[in-house]
Amino acid sequence: MVDGQPSHELTVLESGVRVVTEAMPSVRSAALGLWIGTGSAAESHDEAGLSHLIEHMLFRGTDRYESLEIDQLFDGWGAELNAGTGKETTSVHARVLDRHVAEAFDVMADMVFSPKLSQEDLEQEREIVLEEIAMYDDDPQDKVFDVLGEAVFGEHPLGRAIIGRAEVVAGTPATRLTDFHAGRYVPGNVVVAAAGSVDHAALVELTRQAEAKAGARAPLALADPGDVQLERRVRFITKETEQYHVALGGPGIARDDPRRFALRVLDNILGGTSSSRLFQEVREKRGLAYSVFSFTSTYATTGQVGLYVGTRPDNVAKAMRVVGEELERFRQDGATREELERSRENVKGRILLGLESTTSRMNRLGSSVLADMPLLSVDELEERIDAVTLEDVSALARELFAPQRLSAAGVGADERAFRGALDAVAA
């Protein structure tokens, strides 16, 4: 324990697997996660969707555990087992009672290192993924963010949808999926993370046993996707919808950029909370939208900033005019002292409240260690946030939300109306 806060332990095994834990003596559960350094941004155009497809296939079983048996085991423990694919990471994670940690980890490690990936299972699972792709295509509020990614990043892999391309999912044989897995799901590309009622030394030993079954494999040398080229693009999908779904965004900052703390404060002020400028001006004062917010993402070499508005056809021009005015006001005048102080306290509160959850702590451990990011203490995090100044926030707003940097994406009935509404935010 350090200053009353649980401290983490990190062990790097000979194979390269990193095991990181954080003990929380007051709980009787543990959150476990196996984090793999691969995602949609590590795919070529012809591989788009294989990371997500493999994530699904992990649940189809291993030589030691059938798919139904995995479900029955975790159900019998009253546990939660899930997985997720991102732009740069894939994870398999669970929350279990401490007395089931060893058994749960054995199953999860077998899923990650030794999935069956049979052609028969693939034929079934690919249909599920194709249904998932169709579901997202039918949901304009989700679809618009993938369209924005294409607009912001162009042909760069970061611009591709994580879920993948239907033709790739439909046409990939099991042998190709096995090769894809073999090059990425290797010990040197894996982090084992746990938080809660967990014994670090015991988890290290469990990991040694699991990696021995996987065998020593060298990670695949992935092609460098290159730098993101700044270019303002507009993308639109014509679809009969009740609302226009509009997203604006541009390249942001990398995850190790020291300005990341100022960016979180900026995001809160602009549109990240119910007291933010966009929420108040677009929704509360004018009733032009039900959902309006800003957002940020950070990646290894760059990031993304953006905002979203969903509004009826007769309000789209009005809503975008208000958005344009608020962005211009932020760029010109910056934030107020009151906004800065409220946002800093909000960011600290969200972090501290989140760290009361074993799952949140495990996610922080796994994602940070996988990305070679420092695991800052709570005191250090608060210091970094308190150090954010008005000029820090204003400088970021002027840089990241300059009109010439903002690409646009929309889903709605009339592209001409959408493009006309964008004049309010153009340079």
Q: Which two tokens stand for residue 43?
A: 């795919």
The neighbouring-strand residues paired with 23 are: 196
Beta strands at 80-85 and 18-23: parallel, antiparallel or unpaired: unpaired
Which of the following is catalytic: 55, 211, 281, 326? Answer: 55
> Three-state DSSP class for 245?
strand
Is 341 an active-site residue?
Answer: no
Q: Which two tokens stand for residue 103?
A: 């058994």
Residues 19, 17: Cα–Cα separation, whole Å: 7
E-only strand ranges, 364-421:
407-412
Residues 86, 299: Cα–Cα separation, whole Å: 10
Beta strands at 234-238 and 407-412: parallel, antiparallel or unpaired: parallel
**For the stretch 103-131, what's the b/e string if a residue is b when 16 or more beta carbons lie within 10 angstroms of its beta carbon?**
ebbbbbbbbbbbbbbeeebbeebbeebee
Residue with tokens 């905002």: 307
Residues 422, 379: Cα–Cα separation, whole Å: 43
Distances in Å between the alpha carbon of 318 and those of 281, 352, 422? 11, 38, 10
What are the phi and psi torsion angles at 21 (to 5°)?
-135, 160
In the chain, what is the straight-line distance between the N-terminal and C-terminal CA atoms, in Å? 53
Residues 97, 95: Cα–Cα separation, whole Å: 7
Q: Which two tokens stand for residue 207?
A: 């990991």
- CB atoms under 10 Å from CB of 311, counted, come to 25
Element (H, E) at 11: strand 8-12
Of how many residues is the chain composed?
A: 427
Nearest Cα neighbor of 167 from 135, 133, 125, 136 is: 133
Beta strands at 80-85 and 291-298: parallel, antiparallel or unpaired: unpaired
62 secondary structure, DSSP code: B
What are the phi and psi torsion angles at 86 (to 5°)?
-125, -170
Which residues belong to the active site?
55
